Structure 1
Amino acid sequence: MCGIGGILGGAWAQRSGDAPAAMSRRLAHRGPDGEGMLWLTRGGVSAARPAAGSVEGVLVHRRLAILDPSEAGRQPMSTPDGRYHIVYNGEIYNYVELREELEAGGLRFSSGCDTEVLLAAWARWGEACLSRLVGMFAFAVHDAETGETTLARDLFGIKPLFYSTAGPGFAFASEIKALLTVPGVGRGADAQAVYDYLVWNMTGHDGRSFFADIRRLRPGFLVRVGRDGSVVEGPRRWGSIGLGGAERVPFEEAAERVRSVFLDNVRLHLRSDVEVGCALSGGVDSSAVVAGLRSVAGEDLKIRCFSHIAEDDPAINEERWVDLVAGRAGVEVIKSRPSGDDLARDLDGMIAAQDEPFGSTSIYAQCRVFRLAREHGVRVMLSGQGADELLAGYRPYTAARVATLLARGRLGAAGRLLWASRAWGDPKHTLMRALWLLAKPAVLGTGLSRRRLRRRSWLRAGWFAERGVVGRVATPRGGDRLRSMLHDSAFRTSLPALLRFEDRNAMAESIESRVPFLTPGLAGLLLSQPEEYLLGPDGETKRVFKAA
């Protein structure tokens, strides 16, 4: 886990002044264990800043040492022949298997880190290596032979990557605050991003950021940049996790497959040269991660878990479940009990870490858990992020399941599910939502007139209308409404923002946060389950996972 940045194109890089060093300083929390800089020149590369006339770009890196903390793993890293050079943020969990495959083809490695494996995989297979990776990543790899630099991001967008073309070239970084150090990158607001946040509470769902001059490389996308800093290809999608038809296998068989893939994910996510801890909330997802970790690691491994305890709100205090899971799994639990005064004191720092607005202060609990882990010397944490979006863990998903049943003419099943929903909500509201899902198209997109905007009296109607803001409502359409909504939640409306919160909260404390539910194999498997395996006839959520 690291921080990366760079400026591509001689015109911008040469006039950047102290910007590369400033970018590195702004990313120091992401990589306190080392820093590196590589200058791209007409004749090759240089660790020292060359004469201005020969500069074609610069790559910046901050290192958080997790795998092979020796100097052999420092970045920027280059291939032995000097052709390829990489700055990379993330972890490739199947790097051991990829390394063995590359070694069988005659390659030799000088370190034990995944960066060297990723770089060798790119040199051997090019873009095709991306579909082989199991992990989280955002990287830039420079080809000295062609002068092109390729930037790519993982399928879920677990690791961030922003860029700007506001100057005479291409600048990129792991965080917005680093890009704002580059001359020419402005701080003006992106009107559409502001509108989507204020009206729909949506962030990170497209390629926009809150800054008009800064874009977000979307999950599963890549972009190629030429020697002069111009975009020569993309951004375009390099891969995706689609939503095909549901796989019909017996429920027990489906549960066993889910169990097997999940435990294999936990095993891969345990690979580290430093201690791995867990964020334990007491809910199903984090409890499963803890139990899975104990299952694959055996009884001898010391496991430390970190939990937030909401002492002032009994309705959401899950301390008894935390203690129950800890006792059963034989793990140590260290608890955070922040007060309202703590939140008031830490709020400014949390806002600064996030770079962009967030919907509520609920993310403070996560912030404190990561801080507690750092204070106890734990540098890698596993969490249950993503399970709710893949397994229908939120109660509003009930309406989508009802919509599917109604569309298929299964009125009795829809009625029974609505009746069961009395336990957690108003069945009338659920039914109205289901009917709305059946009636509305997938996307409503229209330019906003001042008259329409005036209906929201708290918005400056003229400001948004003059900037061509589009009002849009996204809903699943056709086929399995629940599965469609889950896919939308995982890749657009819900999870991207949650991953942003988690990344910034963790990296503010120099913690690598890993999410075992979010691999292409497990996500594809869960999204291919029949809807009744995800949300039971009685409203039971995560049904197939609980059975696993």
Structure 2
Amino acid sequence: MCGILGTVPYTPYDKFKPALDTLYHRGPDSFGVESVDHDVTLGHRRLSILDVSETGHQPMKSENDRYLITFNGEIYNFIEIKKELALKGHSFKSTSDTEVLLKAFLEWGEECVHKFNGMWAFAIWDKETKKLFISRDRYGKKPLFYAQINGQFVFASEMKAIFPFFKQLEISEDFHWMKKNIFFYESTDKCLIKGIQRFPAGHSAVYKAGKLNTYRYHNTLDNLVEVPKSYDEQVEKFRELFMDACKLRMRSDVTIGTALSGGLDSSATISAMANLAKDNGSYSKDWQHAFVASFPGTPLDESYYAKKVTDNLGIGATFVDINPLQHWDKLEEYFYKFEDLYITSPIPMIMLYESVKKNGVTVTLDGHGADELLSGYQQGNLEALWDAKLSPSKTKDILNIYQDSINEDKEQYKRTNSSKLYTDFMSKKTVKKILGKTMPSIDNGHPNFKKLDNHAQYLYAMFHENILPTLLRNYDRYAMINSVEIRMPFMDHRIVNFVNSLPYSSKIGGGYTKRIVRDALDPYMPKEVTWRKSKIGFSSPIVNWMQNDLSDWFLSTINDTDFLQSNLVSNPKDLQTKITKIVKGENNEFSDAQKCWSELSPYIWEKSVLSGKSFPNK
């Protein structure tokens, strides 16, 4: 896991190195800068995880000096690929996955990406053809941005490394649309800064002679699989895939752990790790490190359930009490490093991964992706009503699941009359069907999209196009701000292909969301966690903060002249009134407070990112 930067044509070292160092937090262990003639400069900031010696240094050259690579990410199945390459006559000088990636490119060319089980953003320069090959992993777990600036092509892991190549920064013409559509811009090429574009997930590209030719190499719909007909067999297959996904992601030359919430997904992950650790496999034995964000006295606190898990496994845990005052003075620095906008404060998540790093852990295996893949959110469950085909028993089950999955921490989610829920949903869906409206998705014209049931279509868009891409972006930043790598077993492409091929009844049913996960991992988890129906999101107790610890900060901010004159806040005076009511206790609605934070964020972003302030790299 690292930070990468590159330019075509080359950039002088004295200009390139400061730009590369804006990514110091992504790779504090070492750095490398290589130029090939006047054609290209590639840079790398390294977070050492596999082969921590000098033989894993980047940028890395091929033995004949023809190719040069800079790579951010991990290829989890590098050992298996290495064995395959060795049989084809390749030899290796290191135990790094970077060398395996480079030689896979030598052997299979651009098709090599289909061999990889991992997360990546990399670029390979071909000295002979003067071509730059670029690729980003299937689902966009690793970030990649690019820009064309005065005839120079610049790419980097974060936008801030591209900033120095501009004469001045300007907001994108899409900025106001983006701030109102927080969950919908990450899967597009739109960026908050004018002139910068996001390289798409699941795509590769070739840059040559001033032109970037991008193409899609992976589409989940092209990789659907035959699934066992019986549910019990599906459970066995899921368990097999998930265990192997965890096993591959436990490969590390440094200490690993997990960010444990006490919810199903992270609990399933660490429980699988514990079970795997009983065997002598090719993965880290130093995994017994659980980190729990604790919010004492608020509805967000899940430490009770997290302790159930660690007690069941016989390991300890580090409980991190989230006190915003400890880090609020760094808010602008965090916004600068985060770079984007979101609906909640980044403080709790950054504090959690800071504790991970301070306790000597560099890699975590976390449960991200399961909610979007397997219907962990309340609203998505209703979509299965259309698939129940008027079956009274199935309909009742789906409605009960919907009602029981109300978030404990969200006051705006109230239990609703089930008959009204059913009637409202089915009538609206029927009208849409009559009008010929399809599920909103960039892939809804794909033949295999039409083969998915209604529930699967909804989850497909959530996973690939809105909620998950945003969360992947967020957690990459939260962790990398602290030089920590997150690995996500639920996002193994074999699992994604398998789950997308399952009927809705394997994902929700029998009274539960994420049914197949519960049945597959039940033997390894405490029952109180496996069969828990309520859900708590990892967020900020924003109402509590606004009315207590941070009341002075909020009032000071909204009465500042710069805030009242900000062009990035839609209506400063109106927002000032809304925030004042919450701070004074006249409004205690979580949803309203969260909206206030979303409306305020562009102002903080403006002060930290657009202003050109300098924040320390170390």
TM-score normalised to structure 1 length: 0.85
**Deviation (angstroms), 1:477:** 7.8
Match of 2:331 in 1: 347
1:64 aligned onto 2:47: yes
Question: Hey, what's the Cα distance between the residues in 2 that align with 1:443 and 1:420?
Answer: 22
CA distance in 1, matches of 2:4, 2:365: 22
Q: What is the distance in 2 between the residues matched to 1:420 and 1:287?
A: 21
Distance 1:443 1:250 in 2: 28
1:336-380 C-alpha deviation (Å, 9 max, x unpaired): 10223235334223212211111112x432211110011111111
Aligned to 1:456: none
**Equivalent position to 1:119, from 102, 122, 128:** 102
Matched, 1:89 2:85: no
Q: Tell me the CA shift for residue 201 of structure 1.
A: 4.2
Residues 52-85 of structure 1: CA distance to partner in whole angstroms, max 9, x if unpaired? xxx1221111111101111100000011011111
- State the shift of 1:253 in Å: 0.5
Structure 1 segment 415-430 matched on structure 2, within 5 A: 415-418=396-399, 421-423=402-404, 424=406, 425-426=415-416, 427=418, 428-429=420-421
Q: After the TM superposition, which residues 219-238 of structure 1 pair with which residues of structure 2 at under 5 Å, given as runs?
A: 219-226=201-208, 228=209, 230-234=210-214, 236-238=215-217
| Aligned twin of 2:256 | 276
Does 1:513 pair with 2:495?
no
Listed one character per residue, the Cα deviations across residues 80-101 of structure 1 (whole Å, up to 9, x for unaligned) are: 0111110000000000000000
Determine the structure 1 residue equivalent to 2:516.
544
Per the alignment, residue 8 of structure 1 pairs with 8
In structure 2, C-alpha distance between the alignment counterparts of 1:501 and 1:217, rounded to whole Å: 16
Report the Cα offset of residue 203 of structure 1: 3.3
SS of 2:491's partner is coil
Deviations 1:221-251 (A, max 9, x none): 112111x4x12422x2111211758845111
For residues 27 and 401 of structure 2, what CA distance do their matches in structure 1 show? 49
Contact 1:400–1:437 (CA under 8 A) maintained in structure 2: no
- SS of structure 1 residue aligned to 2:317: strand
- Give the Cα–Cα distance (whole angstroms) in 2 for the partners of residues 166 and 333 of structure 1: 48
Mapped to 1, the partners of 2:426 and 2:115 lie a distance apart of: 39
Match of 1:188 in 2: 170
Name 1:432's counterpart in structure 2. Answer: 424
Equivalent residue number for residue 496 of structure 2: 523
Distance 1:183 1:199, change over 3 A: closer
Cα distance change of structure 1 residues 531 and 167 upon mapping to structure 2, 3 Å threshold: same
**Aligned 8 A contact 2:440 2:461 in 1:** no
Deviations 1:92-118 (A, max 9, x none): 000000000001111110000000000
Q: How big is the shift at 1:189?
A: 2.4
Picking from 320, 323, 327, the partner of 2:304 is: 320
- TM-superposed deviation, 1:205: 1.9
Where does the alignment leave 5 or more consecutive residues of structure 1 unmatched?
A: 42-54, 446-475
Q: Identify if the C-alpha distance between structure 1 residues 67 and 341 changes in structure 2 by more than 3 Å, giving closer, same or farther.
A: same
- How far off its partner does 1:478 sit? 8.1
Contact 1:223 1:231 (C-alpha < 8 Å) held by counterparts:
no
Q: CA deviation at 1:19?
A: 3.2
Q: Which amino acid aligns with 2:319?
A: K
Identity of aligned residues (%): 29
Structure 2: distance between partners of 1:118 and 1:431: 53
On the 8 A contact 1:404/1:479 being kept in 2, the answer is no
Letter in 1 for 2:399: L
* 1:150–1:223 Cα contact (<8 Å) kept: yes
Change (3 A) 1:498 1:199: closer
- Answer with 491-500 or 294-303: which moved more: 294-303
1:308 aligns with 2:300: no
Query: Following the alignment from structure 2 to structure 1, what is the Cα–Cα distance between the partners of residues 207 and 220?
Result: 26
Q: CA deviation at 1:20?
A: 1.1
1:473 match: none
* Counterpart-to-counterpart distance in 2, 1:114 and 1:151: 17
CA distance in 1 between counterparts of 2:273 and 2:393 reads 41
Per the alignment, do residues 537 and 293 of structure 1 end up closer, same or farther by CA in structure 2, a change over 3 Å counting?
closer
The answer on whether the counterparts of 1:158 and 1:503 sit within 8 Å (CA) in structure 2 is yes
2:275 is matched with: 295
Within a 5 Å distance, the mapping from 1:451-466 to structure 2 comes to none
Change (3 A) 1:269 1:162: same
Alignment partners' CA distance in 1, 2:268 and 2:401: 26
**Counterpart in the other structure of 2:245:** 265
